[in-house]
Structure 1
């Protein structure tokens, strides 16, 4: 399985913020630190905020902070949230019927199970397990 850069940066943002939970991070400083596009990172931060993982505020002293305790943020849930519009294979997409093997294909059920197991395995860990920089929480 391959995660999108959107999910990769989402996890990095959360890990970084968990490392300094009392600090407000701006999109610009995180984009500089991660060496990525500010516009792309703004979309990531917006998605995390819209889903209750970050709190944001504008103006002087503004920025984003974690909205939840890192020990309560399960990694599989974050990946599932950020990858929600990315189908593992074409037939998983709504209306994805281009595969000529359907409906006799048995691979779809196996891939569905594998995807569920992947997320369940990630959910055995929380953001607190991968804080950056590493600190004792």
Structure 2
């Protein structure tokens, strides 16, 4: 199974925000740190805001931060929100679809995949928070000089 770039961006945002506790981060800052498209990241953050995962603060000193503590944001729930669907194969119009066991097996595999994600939260992604902060700190001074 491969997750979409959209989910990848969402996870990166959540990791960044979780690492910085309650500090507001800007979308341009996150985009530069990860070398991501600003416009794509903006769409992801806006969606995460509407879904209640992040809080956005407008204005000159505004930014974005986690809307809830990291240990209250479930990864399975987040992935279900960011992924459009989990159909691994398209069986529409396939000659053997009525008799084939593949769709059922793949559906079971998808449930198992999501079940594992359901056991974890964003806080689990931050297990090495000090190492993450150090890695972000390498890039952040460059951002502040720009």
Question: Which interval holds the TM-score relative to the shorter structure?
Answer: 0.7 to 0.9
The unaligned stretches of length 5 or more in structure 1 are: 92-96
The unaligned stretches of length 5 or more in structure 2 are: 131-146
What TM-score comes out, normalization by structure 2 length?
0.82
Deviation per CA, 1:72-130, whole angstroms, max 9, x where unpaired? 11111111111134643224xxxxx2333222221111111111110110111111111
Q: Which residue of 1 aligns with 2:69?
A: 69
Q: Which residue of 2 aligns with 1:89?
A: 89
Q: Report the structure number with the largest CA radius of gyration.
A: 2
Runs of 4+ in 1 over 6 A off after TM superposition: none
Tell me, yes or no, if the aligned pair for 1:70 and 1:127 is still in contact at 8 Å. yes
Superposition CA RMSD, Å: 1.6
Q: Which residue of 1 aligns with 2:14?
A: 14
Considering fraction of residues, name the structure with more helix. 2
Q: Which residue of 1 aligns with 2:60?
A: 60
- Cα distance in structure 2, aligned partners of 1:63 and 1:87: 35
- Cα distance in structure 2, aligned partners of 1:45 and 1:99: 38
Q: 1:45 to 1:86 in 2, by over 3 A?
A: farther
What TM-score comes out, normalization by structure 1 length?
0.87
Q: Which residue of 2 aligns with 1:121?
A: 116
Deviation per CA, 1:46-95, whole angstroms, max 9, x where unpaired? 1111111011121111111101111111111111111134643224xxxx
